[in-house]
């Protein structure tokens, strides 16, 4: 490099080694490259962070919804406007939950219809057997010209079926059940010639509670047929209903001859009918002691 002095006209020449100039250019180039590298890395890290946060948020939305379904909540629906892979998964998940909800509803409806049909079948099996005995008793009283007892029988039968039919409803109150059983006992006392007495004792707090129709009659009928009928002396039956913590306990006790395990197995009309009602209506616990 050189320059001319404006005062003396001399030329000044400056000599710079080529190696020094190249070193400065290399350092400048390296600095610019390093700067761009740092900027690119920073940009990449920022993008990765933002992308991972978005992915986590979308994935977590799906995981939370799946856990709700696992816990039995089938009202879950993922609202979204995504058109990517997550949007596809959300839509498939919603379709799956909707199908599960539909299948559960169909299954529940079918089970209710099945239970209702089984209950109607059970009641239809109990009623004819009882009706046959009623007609036999009426015929017997007419032949003996015991019209006063016949009048009591007819009145009891009328009350019994009025409570039993209950306008086609499958559930009745405990109070109506007690009146139904009282009429049933009057009918049976005529049949067994007053060979037993029966008392009812229900807690006031359960009187208005709804229970399945015919839920206690098989037990009472079992007590009469297997406990009282084989006994020659006069007997006593007590039907109780009490509130026990979060449960309601009904008991039918008699001082009859009892029932053996063999006879118990041969009593499908009463005990198996009650156990069948247990399966189709309520989670009841039934135990028989001889």
The answer to whether 237 touches 198, Cβ cutoff 8 Å, is: yes
d(C-alpha 257, C-alpha 265), whole Å: 17
pLDDT of residue 275: 55
255 phi and psi, to 5 degrees? -105, 30
Q: Check pLDDT > 80 for residue 272.
A: no
Residue 156, token pair as written in the block = 């009891």
Q: What percent of the residues of the chain are helix, what percent strand, and what percent coil, each to the nearest 5?
A: 65, 15, 25
Residue 47 has pLDDT above 90, yes or no: no
Rounded CA separation 215/224 (Å): 16
pLDDT band of residue 213 (cuts 50, 70, 90) is confident
Rounded to whole angstroms, how far apart are CA atoms 223 and 238? 10
Contact in structure between 218 and 271 (CB atoms under 8 Å): yes
- Does residue 226 contact residue 187 with C-beta atoms inside 8 Å? no
Mean pLDDT across 74-79 = 80
The vertex-224 CA angle with 185 and 184, nearest 5°, equals 20
Tell me the three state secondary structure of residue 5.
Answer: coil
Average pLDDT, the chain: 75
Q: pLDDT band at 20, cuts 50/70/90?
A: low
Q: Rounded mean pLDDT of 132-159?
A: 84
Say what the pTM is. Answer: 0.52
Question: Is the four-CA dihedral 144, 147, 148, 150 of positive or negative sign?
Answer: positive
d(CA 218, CA 230): 18
Give the whole-angstrom CA distance, residue 141 versus residue 155.
14
Q: How big is the CA angle at 166 (ends 165 and 171), to the nearest 5 degrees?
A: 105
Mean pLDDT, rounded, for 92-102:
82
Q: Which of 278, 231, 277, 285 is nearest to 254 (CA)?
A: 231
Q: Give residue 237's pLDDT band: very low, low, confident or very high (50, 70, 90).
A: very high
Res 200: pLDDT? 93
pLDDT grade for 203, boundaries at 50, 70 and 90: very high
Helix ranges, 144-169 (H): 147-165
């Amino acid at each position: 490099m050189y320059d001319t002095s404006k005062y003396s006209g001399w030329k000044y020449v400056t000599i710079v080694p080529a190696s020094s100039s190249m070193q400065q250019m290399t350092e400048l180039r390296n600095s610019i490259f390093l700067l761009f590298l740092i900027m690119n890395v920073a940009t990449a890290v920022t993008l990765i962070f933002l992308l991972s946060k978005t992915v986590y948020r979308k994935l977590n939305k799906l995981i939370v919804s799946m856990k709700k379904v696992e816990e039995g909540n089938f009202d879950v629906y993922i609202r979204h406007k995504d058109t990517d892979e997550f949007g596809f998964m959300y839509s498939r998940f919603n379709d799956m939950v909707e199908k599960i909800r539909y299948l559960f509803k169909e299954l529940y409806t079918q089970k209710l219809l099945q239970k209702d049909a089984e209950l109607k079948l059970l009641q239809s099996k109990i009623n004819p057997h009882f009706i046959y005995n009623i007609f036999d008793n009426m015929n017997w009283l007419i032949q003996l010209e015991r019209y006063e007892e016949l009048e009591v029988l007819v009145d009891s039968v009328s009350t019994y079926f009025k409570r039993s039919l209950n306008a086609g409803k499958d559930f009745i109150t405990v109070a109506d059940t007690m009146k139904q059983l009282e009429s049933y006992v009057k009918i049976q006392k005529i049949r067994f010639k007053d060979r037993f007495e029966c008392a009812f004792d229900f807690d006031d707090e359960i009187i208005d509670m709804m229970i399945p129709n015919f839920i206690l009659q098989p037990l009472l009928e079992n007590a009469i047929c297997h406990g009282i009928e084989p006994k020659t002396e006069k007997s006593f039956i007590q039907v109780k209903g009490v509130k026990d913590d979060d449960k309601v306990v009904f008991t039918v006790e008699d001082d009859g001859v009892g029932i053996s395990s063999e006879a118990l197995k041969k009593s499908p009309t009463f005990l198996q009918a009650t156990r069948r009602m247990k399966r189709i209506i309520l989670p009841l616990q039934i135990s028989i002691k001889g």
